[in-house]
Structure 1
Amino acid sequence: MEFRHLGRSGLVISEIAYGNWITHGSQVEEDTATACIRAALDAGITTFDTADVYAEGRAEEVLGRALRGERREGLEIFTKVYFPTGPGRNDSGLSRKHIMESIDGSLRRLQTDYVDLYQAHRFDHSTPLEETMEAFADVVRAGKAHYIGVSEWTAEQIRAGHALARQLRIPLVSSQPQYSALWRVIEAEVIPACEELGIGQIVWSPIAQGVLTGKYRPGAAPPPGSRATDDNGGATFVSRWLREDVLERVQQLRPLAQEAGLSLAQLAVAWVLQNQNVSAAIIGASRPEQIAENVAASGVKLDAQLLRRMDEILAPVVERDPARTAESSPKARR
């Protein structure tokens, strides 16, 4: 396992992080989820990402139980706040009330006194940014989080949040966007802004919900047990990539992966790690053996010619529009 600094902060994290969105608490049973977390630890992963909304809090609970007994100082535990965690009007968003209540709930479920990184899961258009950042500052000063991050914020929103964080003297060090060889919307605006500000990317879905593994083939039904057959939410998220033109292009990457001595999944994870603004790629798993395969992408260097050939193959199906980031934050709370 290779390690990188999170942005220009002093925090060092594993360049492959383990995330339990969709799977833990919903898609797989807890014993399997625990086995996946143990496999991640065995593979050298020290960085774990979750959120209070995942499986209605159960994902945090599963992670907390699985990591119990591990040396806390040797782990980096990340979680997030924004999406609804209850039926009330104040059970969502980035108001001071919701942030202060949510951090305590997350710490209880994770069975820890602090998280290393507390992230705004989306931008809240209904709350003054000053209120949000002041609440985050109080979380940091109370010792409940060491660093602050954001997820799916636009470059403009990141700049505004970072400026307030500097005024409040708290470390806003990370951005967690979707990023893969198929989804490159952060390259035009978010990455340049973050490079300037010293903010690192912790990217999710580097294998595009499994599509970049090549297991979904043109004209064929999804494999049994794959995310595309999951009725607990997985099928919804992967459906946008299950177009014939996308699947055909992904299959054309097989010779490139073979030349590099990699599986398609390893090629996809290695691809995002070639970007120096990426501090970590988040992988998930529904089976422990998937961990070892993806971790083999750590430390891989892809040559420039191979990267150009990947670009040429995928160019017709790549999403690059930076406006897509803004679409991920609802104008009103849900």
Structure 2
Amino acid sequence: MDLTTTAYGTWSGGRFMHYGETLPEDRYLQCIRTAYEAGIRTFVTADVYGNGKADELLGEALADVDRESYCLVGMIGHDFYVGQRQGNKGYPRFTDPELRGSGEYKDYMRMACSKSLERCRADRFDLLMLHNPDDIGYTSEAVWDGMRALKEEGLTSRLGIAPGPANGFSLDIIQCFERFGTYIDWAMLILNPLEPWPTGLILPACEKFGVKVLTRVVDYGGVFHGDLKPGHAFKPGDHRAYRPQGWVEHGLEKAERMLPLADKYKLTPIQFASIWNLSQPMVESVVPTFFQEPVENARDIELMIREFAALPDVRFTPEESEQIRVIGDNTGCMTLKGASKRHETSERADEWPMRPELLELAGRYGLGEDW
């Protein structure tokens, strides 16, 4: 089963990623069941969330439904089996040279995939993605030979790449498509009407190589869910508190300018943002983050899930899409991760020095040299 238009991610609900309130386990499970009951048929998990606990809870929540009735998406990449957590950096990638050499990649990937499937109570993924790769993950033939082997062995039906955890990696992704695009069916990218950049730079390459796109952060940190107001105070540890000061107010102001188009199509804000994403080339699935905001009169997270599940089958015209992109244009608003001229050495798993072949690629795709 390929991905459906609407998808639900196990990072929702605050148990494994610190957004809003942390739901108790029974309600977290009920949210997954609510998504299924409301008609969502794609579920996305990552083995590193809760060191496998998210996989387990997803498997438990869907234990009583027909496995053939939903699409299961998994992600592997962070080694929490042997690797040691490095504070806010999280666990190292399995490709870290201090953990293993390239000759050991395939065995690790088979082990990680098999254990994740066991926790999910499944015998295969419909899509397995390489999660938050480092520069080795983007460029190593041994890594992608390992991914291909998992498909050949029947552990997954499709393969993909999920860059992150921050935004960027544009040139790295395009080069990965050029080298390994015959293996790659899907990419999970950050995109929403308030963040059309930099993913907009990658979509033409997705078209060229036939890579479908699953978009996350369509909610823009909750702005398109409707519970954030100017001056919102985030709880200590909430990941959104690390965004630049004033981002909520700035986002709300821009979103307000977009809402006449939402009204035209009778869309709620999250439906509007999702339809804008789906109106972009190669975008075929959307997976928001669902929050239970710790504020007075906040809507129940279950209502947000049902609202998203009722996404109507409409698309914006190219002119309407461009109108929204111009309002939301965020070009240059952040320091991008991945290959960059800022670095002479690779000191973090998500930042590394620029390579000449990437600048050559940027020239071929008309992306300039300011990286």
Q: Does the pair score TM above 0.5?
A: yes
Match of 1:19 among 9, 30, 37: 9
1:79 matched residue in structure 2: 74
Pair 1:150 & 2:161 matched: yes
**2:144 corresponds to:** 133
Q: Please give the residue correspondences for 1:244-283 in structure 2 after superposition, counting only pairs within 5 Å.
A: 244-283=249-288
Aligned residue among 37, 40, 48 for 1:45: 40
Change (3 A) 1:81 1:123: same
Equivalent residue, structure 2, for 1:92: 93
Q: What is the deviation of 1:44? A: 1.9
Kept in 2, the 8 Å contact 1:60–1:109? The answer is yes
Task: Describe how 1:1-20 pairs up with structure 2 within 5 A.
Answer: 12-20=2-10
Q: Tell me whether 60-69 or 278-287 shows the greater mean CA deviation.
A: 278-287
Match for 1:302 among 298, 316, 338?
316
Equivalent-residue separation in structure 2 for 1:275 and 1:249 (angstroms): 19
The 1:264/1:194 distance shift into structure 2, 3 A limit, reads same
Tell me if structure 2 keeps the 8 A contact 1:84–1:91.
yes
Structure 1-normalised TM-score? 0.80
CA contact (8 A) 2:127 2:159 kept: yes
The secondary structure found in structure 2 opposite 1:189 is: helix
In structure 2, the CA distance between the partners of 1:148 and 1:322, relative to structure 1 (3 Å rule), is farther
Q: How many residue pairs get matched?
A: 310
CA distance in 1, matches of 2:79, 2:333: 28
Aligned mates of 1:136, 1:300 — CA distance in 2: 35
CA distance in structure 2 between the partners assigned to 1:236 and 1:98 by the alignment:
35
Q: Work out the CA distance in 2 between the residues paired with 1:133 and 1:197.
A: 16
Aligned residue type for 1:194:
C
2:134 corresponding residue in structure 1: 124
* Structure 1 residues 87 and 251: alpha-carbon distance in aligned structure 2, compared to 1, 3 A threshold: farther
- Per the alignment, residue 4 of structure 1 pairs with none
How far is the alpha carbon of 1:62 from its aligned partner? 0.9
> Equivalent residue for 1:182?
194
Per-residue CA distance 1:95-122 (angstroms, 9 max, x = gap): 3343222112211211111111110112
Whole-Å Cα distance in 2 between the matches of residues 259 and 104 of structure 1?
47
Which segment drifts farther, 195-204 or 208-217? 208-217
Identity %: 23
- CA shift, 1:194, in A, is 1.1
Cross-structure match for 1:6 = none
Q: Hey, what does 2:369 align to over in structure 1? A: none
> CA contact under 8 A between 2:228 and 2:248: conserved in structure 1?
no
The one-letter code sitting in structure 2 at the alignment partner of 1:249 is K
Larger mean CA deviation between 26-35 and 243-252 belongs to 243-252
**In structure 2, what is the equivalent of residue 8 of structure 1?**
none
| Matches of 1:253 and 1:289, distance apart in 2 | 23
- Please say if residues 214 and 251 of structure 1, whose CA atoms lie closer than 8 Å, have aligned partners that are also in contact: no
CA separation in 2, counterparts of 1:322 and 1:129?
28
The code of the aligned residue for 2:308 comes to N
Q: Using CA pairs under 8 Å that are at least 6 residues apart, name the structure with larger relative contact order, 1 or 2.
A: 1
Q: Is the 8 A contact 1:186 1:325 kept in 2?
A: no
Which residue of 243, 247, 250 maps to 1:242?
Answer: 247
Q: CA deviation at 1:309?
A: 4.1
1:285 matched residue in structure 2 = 290
Moved more, 300-309 or 173-182: 300-309
Cα distance change, pair 88–69 in 1 and its aligned pair in 2 (3 A): same
| Aligned residue in 2 for 1:7 | none
Match of 2:52? 57
Alpha-carbon spacing, 1:240–1:303, altered in 2? closer, same or farther (3 Å):
farther
Aligned mates of 1:237, 1:298 — CA distance in 2:
33
CA RMSD after TM alignment:
3.0
Using the alignment, how far apart are the partners of 1:196 and 1:331 within structure 2? 33
- How far, CA to CA, are the matches of 2:47 and 2:246 in structure 1? 27
Partner SS for 2:126: strand
- Which residue is equivalent to 1:203? 215
Q: Partner of 2:109: helix, strand, or coil?
A: helix
Q: 1:72 to 1:299 in 2, by over 3 A?
A: same
Where does residue 314 of structure 1 map in the other structure?
328
Distance (Å, rounded) in 2 between the aligned partners of 1:24 and 1:109: 20
Residues 117-170 of structure 1, C-alpha deviation per residue, up to 9 Å, x if partnerless?
Answer: 11011233246611101111221122111111001253554444564464xxxx
Unmatched 5+ residue regions in structure 1? 1-10, 223-227
